[in-house]
Amino acid sequence: MSATVKIVRFHEIGGPEVLQFDELPLPEPAHGEVRLRVKAIGLNRAEIMFRNDRYLETPILPSKNGYEASGIIEAIGPGVDSSWIGKTASTVPGFFSLNAHGVYGEVAIVPAAALAEYPATLSYQEGTAIWMQYLTAYGGLIMLGHLTTGDFALITAASSSVGIAAIEIAKAEGATSIAVTRTAAKKGALLKHGADHVIVTDEEDLEARVNEITAGKGARVIFDPIGGKILESLAAAAATKGIILEYGALAPEPTPYPLFTALSKFLTIRAYTLFEVAADPEEYAKARKYIYDHIAAGNFKPLIDKTFPFSEIVAAHRYMESNAQVGKIVITF
């Protein structure tokens, strides 16, 4: 085993080019931690926002990055069950800071609490494309939205990995999914992957199309990672007593609160992140079982859009910023 490993860090805030490969001593896990020999990494929008200092925490330079990795546990720290050694597992976002435990590297030190096994039928690439997307969608649609048979679920940024997961969850719960995308380029892919309806906002009026699809009722559950001015259109498209779950801040502009629409429809506009699921042991256990069982049954299938070798992680970040993907971007080793 080499005495050094390559860890991707950034030493300044900026675009993909700030990511660099640092040759560092092989790290040892501390109390409650494990060392994962990384086999695949799943990229997430949060990591782009973190690199640009637009995320929930501020990078401490030089900073690590990355929430999701799959691989083999090769070392454990004090207080960790020794049975983890040699097991295949992936990391669950919500249990660690990117500053402290980022997973972009040949190895990753992570808390043992952040590990989860996944069905053995999945590849490493699929195993790293589970928890961020399905936990995020579960928490919004099931835990908070109480999505059920007969509901209409409006899903923006629907071609993202979380959006695809939300479409799958809506189908599993007997709800009707309405996927929202900006251009027609992704419409066919969204229909292929299970969306019941697709609205292309560059060509169609969002409120009018939702009213047409729902026979004037509006969507009871709205799942949105964008924010900004689209919130006004989402409120207009919402059903009376509907809930709008804001789980991200991708819009470059401020987010206006649609007060009069919210008042007239008795709307709930709810801020949410998967950290809320991770912070509740009972809800997390339910969510993890729900996801595992549906994957094992074949109802959920992690969708890999494109893979890049570890040496091309900068190119992978550029690709994510292009917004061309449908599903997950994965780094391989």
- What domain count does the chain have? 2
Structure tokens at 43: 């990229």
The answer to whether residues 126 and 230 belong to one domain is no
Comparing CA positions, the residue from 301, 141, 285, 304 lying closest to residue 225 is: 141
Tell me if 33 sits within 8 A of 111, measured CB to CB: yes
Give the β-pairing of 152-155 and 238-246: unpaired
pLDDT in tens, the chain (333 residues): 799 999 999 999 999 999 999 999 999 999 999 999 999 999 999 999 999 999 999 999 999 999 999 999 999 999 999 999 999 999 999 999 999 999 999 999 999 999 999 999 999 999 999 999 999 999 999 999 999 999 999 999 999 999 999 999 999 999 999 999 999 999 999 999 999 999 999 999 999 999 999 999 999 999 999 999 999 999 999 999 999 999 999 999 999 999 999 999 999 999 999 999 999 999 999 999 999 999 999 999 999 999 999 999 999 999 999 999 999 999 999
Q: Is 311 exposed, middle or buried (0-12, 13-18, 19+ CB in 10 A)?
A: exposed
53-83, pLDDT tens digit by residue?
A: 999 999 999 999 999 999 999 999 999 999 9
Under a CB-based contact definition with an 8 Å cutoff, are residues 247 and 140 in contact?
A: yes
Q: How many CA atoms lie within 13 A of 71 on its CB side?
A: 26
**Adjacent-strand bridge partners of 25:** 4
CA distance 207 to 26: 54
> Are residues 56 and 106 part of one domain?
yes
Considering the domain architecture, whether residues 51 and 137 belong to the same structural domain is answered as: no
Domain shared by 271 and 326, yes or no? no
Range of the domain at 21: 4-130+302-332
> Would the CA dihedral through 272, 277, 283, 288 be positive or negative?
positive
- Cis bond leading into 62, ω under 30°? yes
Measured over the CA atoms of residue 214, residue 217, residue 221 and residue 226, the dihedral's sign is: positive
Asked whether residue 169 is domain-assigned, the answer is yes
CATH number at residue 92: 3.90.180.10
147-194 confidence digits (pLDDT tens): 999 999 999 999 999 999 999 999 999 999 999 999 999 999 999 999
Our CA angle for 145, 256, 229, nearest 5°, is 85
Q: Is this structure's pTM higher than 0.75?
A: yes
Res 33: pLDDT: 98
Compute φ and ψ for 325, nearest 5 degrees: -80, 155
Q: Is 268 in the same domain as 316?
A: no
3-state secondary structure of 69: strand
Q: Which two tokens stand for residue 139?
A: 């928490």
Q: Alpha carbon of 246 to those of 250, 294, 310, 317: distances in Å?
A: 10, 25, 32, 24
Residue 215 lies in a domain: yes
β-pairing, 88-91 with 68-76? antiparallel
Predicted confidence at residue 1, as pLDDT, reads 77
Both 152 and 207 in a single domain?
yes
- C-alpha–C-alpha distance, residues 137 and 135, integer Å: 5
Task: Please indicate, yes or no, if residue 292 is contained in any of the structural domains.
Answer: no
- Give yes or no: residues 82 and 214 share one domain: no
